[in-house]
Structure 1
């Protein structure tokens, strides 16, 4: 069993790490949890053991369970999703599929998809929040991609990244099915970034 000092150290470390991941200031976390700024500072510096009520409010504000705050294991989190756990979230009458492999929780969302499109079949993607990017890599076949008004074709082995805040379409552009992986990256502040700032960042 952990000592009270070990629990305080684990809670402080976990609260600080989760707050940083969620890009929250100490004041923002204090307001969301209904505690004082000094309480958050004391907890993060392991200068006191918070009450159960304070832990519950902090967990709710950080969108985790209490277990995530008191867990003393500092080992990196590892999530394994076996092949049979993959979720097919879209299919067409032609036999095309989009399989969701794995993803992260907000605020910074990363998703990994496995797509197969039959020749001539297509999927229309809606515009994502400003700041969202997609990365596509073709494993087999030829992929057609339309981003806004621009048309692109990718052969096997080609990889492309694009800003996904406009409507876009994926299509099977060859005589054989095309299979490609897609990574969607949506930062927690997506939708709050000025368009010019994104274009400037990509050009650099």
Structure 2
């Protein structure tokens, strides 16, 4: 994958709009000014304003900082996690958190309402595409089930491992890691994330 593809990859427009609206709603509910929340999260006032308007492309680290300053978590800013015995999401309503110009995508489909949350993701990686992740909190793990194609997991300090269709894997994600599709067909996989406390 070229650096050009990497530079233009990121959250979808729908995700940015949903995130901005939820950050603004929670900031107002907490009776915080834009400057107060920006200071608490360690981001600039201008960046926070752009996020609330759905015009910024914040890193997932920035979203985590905002969530922490609002006494919530990433999932709660992007998905409905109200308590209840059953929550069903209609097809096509997942939060498109990441996409690339190659056509790859990472969609947050559901999450538990308890903390720390477990997250259910659906991913598609097009041939030659790659997603580079920053380390998650200590104790975090991810589970993978490859539905189509082959998924290469490239983890710092380890040799890359390829998981074939029907295969599964567990990854301690508190280090730098990447997902890659080095094959000729799209790779589809399901990912469950359990963040450490």
Using the size of structure 2 for normalisation, the TM-score is: 0.55
Mapping for residues 108-187 of structure 1, pairs under 5 Å:
108-150=116-158, 151-187=160-196
1:106: Cα distance to partner? 5.0
1:107: Cα distance to partner? 2.0
1:105: Cα distance to partner? 3.6
User: 1:84 & 1:140 partners in 2: Cα distance?
Assistant: 19
| Number of the residue aligned with 1:89 | 97
Kindly report structure 1 stretches of 4+ aligned residues shifted beyond 6 Å. Answer: none
Count of matched residue pairs: 115
Give the 3-state SS of the residue equivalent to 1:88 in structure 2.
strand
User: 2:178 & 2:92 partners in 1: Cα distance?
Assistant: 28
| Number of the residue aligned with 2:52 | none
1:149: Cα distance to partner? 2.4
| Number of the residue aligned with 1:67 | none
* 1:32-69 deviation line (CA, Å, top 9, x unaligned): xxxxxxxxxxxxxxxxxxxxxxxxxxxxxxx9xxxxxx
Mapping for residues 1-204 of structure 1, pairs under 5 Å:
77-150=85-158, 151-187=160-196, 190=197
* 1:51-109 deviation line (CA, Å, top 9, x unaligned): xxxxxxxxxxxx9xxxxxxxxxxxx7111111131121111011101111011245221
* Structure 1 gaps, min length 5: 1-62, 64-75, 191-204
User: 1:106 & 1:131 partners in 2: Cα distance?
Assistant: 17
Give the 3-state SS of the residue equivalent to 2:92 in structure 1.
helix
* Structure 2 gaps, min length 5: 1-71, 73-83
User: 1:91 & 1:105 partners in 2: Cα distance?
Assistant: 25
User: 1:101 & 1:172 partners in 2: Cα distance?
Assistant: 21
**Which of structures 1 and 2 has the bigger CA Rg?**
1
Contact 1:153 1:173 in 2 (8 A): no
The alignment yields a C-alpha RMSD, in angstroms, of 1.8
